[in-house]
Structure formats: structure tokens, C-alpha cells
Amino acid sequence: MKNLSGKELAGFIKERQARQIASMSPKPHLLILRDSDNPVIMKYVNLKIKYGEDIGVVVDSRRANSAEDLAKAILQANNDSSINGIIIQLPLTDKSKTDELCNLIKPEKDVDGLGEHAKFDSATATAINWLLAGYDIKLTNAKIAIVGRGKLVGAPLYRMFTNSGYDVTLFHRGDDLTNLKQYDIIITATGVPGLISDSMIKPGAILVDAGTASENGKLLGDVSEEVRSRTDLSAITPITGGVGPLTIACLFDHVIQSSVNPRA
């Protein structure tokens, strides 16, 4: 069974980015905004700060105390020519504000690709594409299921795959997921720990677990431990180090692109 680790693939991208940035002046600048210090949020903020340090991108992380303060910070950053990329580290405390705030980010600075008019594709959806391609997993003629309709992964990945002509079905986490047994490739991103159980997965399936949740400070995925213990799967991502490293690599690719061509 293949272990679909994004770390090695991201390492090659990181080396290329560092070489590219070495000759750039001024250095690209990413602003990360958040409205809480939730452990999962801080884990990903700190990973991005470290990645930026490694390749030479300036990363500024700021916390706002309300949606109104976030909006003000976004508008200020939109007008700051020294900032090339802006992201909101999700989830927000008030999730109902997500679309409104993401849409405030100037399209050419929306490096996560979450706004309605973003110039970039979703970083996480692109990372999943990179991961599957990197392990030579063919999507043509495969039955693909995406579980979760969120704006970070499910919705943009469904659009991406549909536009490419793949046979893909989008499931909500409340749907009858026993139907997943009909699918060859299952990509899940609901943030519900253990949602994908053993009875839902056929032998030989490929699983990409992009779901993230925290229980008692421990990071958990959508795929249950029972599924992960199976030996008859074709491939599966690890709980950490699967899609995540490539998502960060893609995000910084977008920051670099925005820096090189700020009005692209």
C-alpha cells in the first residue's frame, strides 16, 4: 500500500522556491490574519511562518478580535503595496462571516483562492491534484468521490475535477456514505474525526484524508483508525504530512506569483 506523503514532493518545490526568491528584491510578503489562538489554527500559522523563513518570504501573522477588525485589516492590507498575499486562517470563530471576509481580499492578493473572484485556484484543491499526480494516480476512468462541500477543499476540488471531465460525485457529510464503497478514489475533508468507517471502503481504494480536527490537543483526520489499519487499500495519506505540506507549498507559489506580477 502506498503512503501518499506530500513531504517529499513539497521538498522539491521548496528548493525551487528558495532559489527563485534568492534573486528577488524586495522579498515577497504574506499576511496571515486570524481571530483566535485555537491550537489547530496556530499549528498551521506556525508551519507557514517557518516555511516562509526557510525560503525567504516575509510572513506577518496578526490576530484580530472581531470580524469588523478582520475586515479593517484586510482593507488596509489590500492597499499596502508591500503585501503580496493575504490569507485568513480558517475556521473563523463566527463561520457565517467566512465568505464575506474572504471576498474582501483583493483578487490578486487572494493566494488561498477562497474569494469569489480570486485570481488563484484553491491552494488545498491544487495540492491534492499535485499529490495524486506526484504518485502517478490516474483520475481518468476512475470513479471519484469527494466528501465535504466546504470552500477550502470540497467545492473547489469538485469544480476542478468536473472541469477536467472526471467522473466525480460530491457528498455532504450527512449523506449515506455507505455508497462510497462504489468509488475507486475517495477524498474527504469534513473535519469530523473517524467519519469514514471500514464498511464504506472497498478493497483497493485510494484515500486522501484532508480533514483536520483537534481532540484533547491531538490532530485527527476524517478516516477512522480501523480503515487505516487495513492492508488491502491501494494508497492512503498519513494523518499528518499528506496534503498539508503541498498546500503550504502551493500557497507560497501563489505569493511568489503575486509578487512577480502583482496585477495578474
pLDDT in tens, 18-37: 999 999 999 999 999 999 99
- The architecture in CATH of the region 2-118+245-260 reads 3-Layer(aba) Sandwich (3.40)
pLDDT the model gives residue 127: 97
pLDDT recorded at residue 242: 94
216 has pLDDT over 60: yes
pLDDT at 38: 86
Q: What percent of the chain has pLDDT over 90?
A: 88
Condensed to tens digits (0 to 9), the pLDDT of residues 114-153 reads: 999 999 999 999 999 999 999 999 999 999 999 999 888 9
CA distances from 37 to 44, 110, 126, 199 (A): 11, 22, 27, 36
CATH superfamily assigned to domain 123-243 = NAD(P)-binding Rossmann-like Domain (3.40.50.720)
Q: What is the pLDDT of residues 179-202, one digit of tens each?
A: 999 999 999 999 999 999 999 999
How far apart, in Å, are the Cα atoms of 33 and each of 64, 72, 127, 215, 237?
A: 7, 11, 21, 24, 28
Model pTM score = 0.91
Give the pLDDT of residue 39.
Answer: 82
pLDDT score for 217: 66
Tell me whether strands 213-215 and 218-220 are parallel, antiparallel or unpaired.
antiparallel
Q: What is the pLDDT of residue 151?
A: 84
Averaged pLDDT for residues 38-47: 89
- Picking from 33-42, 177-186, 200-209, 227-236, which range would have the lowest pLDDT averaged per residue? 33-42
Topology alike, domains 2-118+245-260 and 123-243: yes
The domain limits of the chain are 2-118+245-260, 123-243
Least trusted range by pLDDT, from 36-40, 62-66, 75-79, 145-149: 36-40
**Beta-bridge partners for 33:** 62, 88
Q: For the chain, give the mean pLDDT.
A: 94
Rg for the chain (alpha carbons), in Å? 18
In this predicted structure, the answer to whether residue 90 has a pLDDT above a threshold of 60 is yes
